[in-house]
Chain A
């Protein structure tokens, strides 16, 4: 599909596929990124066609490096793409701040995929403000066709202004699908060369640097002005509606789809219009002035922060003479909720209250009975680790070791599947959870608080991919500063959370080619940390090791718990053990067990049969790791090795 030559034909494409296709139509040569929902499929899709499309595709160690890698492509004259989820922009922002000053050569597009509502994130970060902060153009596709078309255009725009262009997607575009008419693929293979011998001040031939800053900054702002001119005429900004609407909705991104739907549902298309913006920074002032002047009431529909709203208000204020008095509705006055994702209902509600159009989404009595029935008959699905997941076993042992130690030790976590240890799935073991690698940095800090009386053992957990991403500097910090802490690296051989992208510890790249792998243990050792390893499936040994390291070792130390993810291609569908429960031995709820396996350990492979009062193994779900056999206090869970 991605390399289909059926130009002009329509396909049902996922937003991320559409973006990838757009990049291919633009003739992208270099694509780099760091996995993160909802962005990962862009790089994945490109990686899948990399050999056929003459692309270099890379899962980089973190977002900042991915931006640097992509920038190199641009400096060498190639079109390059960089992809990340919203919070990745924070990581990349230091380089970005400098990159926008030095400018780019080959078209370079940065695509952050935001996740309003934090559907699969631990934050509701905003990348749009970075565009303003960094003074670069911001594009926001309003549907799937635009996702493709604007991506392609973004490269052209970037080359036009010799700077990075940000194209922001959101979950409801990236992870949604719609009809997309394909365009022509650009199959030219450009050659790369980095020119640097020109004049120091020549952006095309000189060295790529940010100095002299005032000069470059002036240039950068001039580029932005140029973008404004292009935006005034851009087909991605359009107005739909009556000439003088009672209400003007200004919106962008997926919110455009919700707004359009709201007007249709309320049959208000003759009364209200929509100014759909594809270029949201810098705003095209003439276009906005024209539309702001045509309406008295303006509703701004956007997700997360009032970015459009603020910028439009500034523009309106500056042009108050020509625009006249208008009333704004949006986040600031509470018409639109200030957190969480948008949906048609929010917009319908806003429009129906402004235009006084009655609307009932769901009759009250239906809603009530629906809620009662679903509450009573539809048991909640709590998130948990997969059957056979090594994290469950790891946290079991970490939790027990900290309890045995009895000194109120705690675990600082960060981002990955293993963050679920804030839930019963991981026995609530994690007590702080923030950004990538943060557990180790926070632990490094805790580990220096002895002199203030903090005597609690300090542990951090970090996944293998996260270790390379941002855990390493934190470990260096802890070692160098003599922090007293234990870093547990939950090494499950892959970036499991986002669907098994490789990382530097894995001997292959995004396209499956062989690469040298970086050995985590030797890295830790050479950093100067005392290093230990264990197999978390051996729970008694793991518990002993954790306890021993906590009690008998000091300084920054590392314990690597190594066991592949249950969903990894090597493991999926292959059982190591056949596992069963001997119901004659199982104690069930009796004193002496009280359902340790099903109630506490909670592997989905273990089922509590309330009618017999015994635990049983669900052979379909059980992954055959055999760990529960070691957990059962009665020896009721039997395992036997599967003959291969």
Chain B
């Protein structure tokens, strides 16, 4: 793993971005890494973009902000957010794993702005990164019982890329500390599903 490894989890307020960053961060901490998470969630409840920067290092802790152009992995809980993040932190080597389910900005909802089609977005994202994978995380989460599981699926998908030193057991122990006993299984199921989906992303 590149050290420090820079991950950005991006999405929209209410998607559980902070939680996903926590899950991933805790798992990595358990695996013996220094983790720093920087969160921007000031306007999260009001439809704004929310972003977490994770810095992962074997050696020491890093600052809560990734320098421009230096992300290694972008996890997008919402598809267009990946593009916004790439424009600021991307590079030709960055990997992107993105949910396919859009959350429309108000401007789009009210018909003033246009939201790109997924294939269109895929093309744009692909132009700015090394590897872009879109997965139907929300749909899968709904099938599993609750849309909020989509962030666990996305964390699983990130794990499924094989770039991160995390294993199922450490993830499970983090989940166990954070959800009631009865919810552990479904969360693990979502995580594993995400891992599977990452190797079999949506084809455009």
Contact = CB atoms under 8 A, between A and B. Distances in A.
A360 B115 CA distance: 32
A541 interface: no
B92 A382 contact: no
Contacts of A425: 106
A143 B160 CA distance: 31
Nearest to B62: A261
Contact of B83 (A171, A175, A377): A377
A345 B65 CA distance: 9
Given A176-B37, A260-B63, A599 B112 contact: yes
Chain A interface, DSSP helix/strand/loop, else mixed: mixed
A371 B87 contact: yes
A177 B70 CA distance: 20
A431 B41 CA distance: 26
B109 A606 contact: yes
A347 to B, nearest CB: 9
B49 to A, nearest CB: 5
B61 interface: yes
A403 B84 CA distance: 38
B68 A362 contact: yes
A378 B29 contact: no
Nearest to B41: A175
A380 B127 contact: no
A369 interface: yes
Given A12-B26, A176-B39, A374 B68 contact: no
Given A378-B83, A381-B105, A177 B37 contact: yes
A115 to B, nearest CB: 8
Contacts of A78: none
A370 interface: yes
Interface in A272-287: none
Contacts of A348: 67
A179 B64 CA distance: 12
Contacts of A176: 36-39, 64
Given A369-B128, A604-B106, A378 B80 contact: yes
A345 B68 CA distance: 7
A367 B43 CA distance: 26
B69 interface: yes
A382 B80 contact: no
Interface stretch (A310-318, A383-391, A512-520): A383-391
B156 interface: no
A265 B84 CA distance: 24
B47 A604 contact: yes
A614 to B, nearest CB: 11
A175 B36 CA distance: 11
A598 B67 contact: no
B84 A177 contact: no
A378 B49 CA distance: 11
A599 B110 contact: yes
A598 B110 contact: yes
B46 A420 contact: yes
Interface of A: 10-12, 37-38, 119-120, 143-144, 171-173, 175-179, 254, 257-258, 260-261, 265, 343-345, 348, 360-363, 366-367, 369-371, 373-374, 377-386, 417, 420, 425, 567, 595, 598-599, 602, 604, 606-608, 610, 618, 620
29 contacts: A38-B42, A119-B40, A120-B42, A144-B61, A172-B65, A175-B39, A176-B38, A261-B62, A343-B65, A348-B67, A361-B70, A362-B69, A362-B91, A366-B69, A366-B92, A367-B69, A370-B128, A371-B87, A373-B124, A373-B128, A377-B121, A378-B81, A384-B46, A384-B47, A602-B109, A604-B47, A607-B104, A608-B110, A618-B109
Interface of B: 12, 21-22, 25-26, 29, 34-43, 45-49, 61-70, 80-81, 83-84, 86-88, 90-92, 104-116, 120-121, 124, 127-128, 147
Nearest 8 pairs between A and B by C-beta? A120-B42, A608-B111, A362-B69, A257-B63, A176-B64, A370-B87, A374-B87, A379-B113
Given A345-B67, A377-B80, 7 more contacts: A10-B29, A144-B36, A172-B38, A172-B65, A178-B61, A373-B128, A598-B111
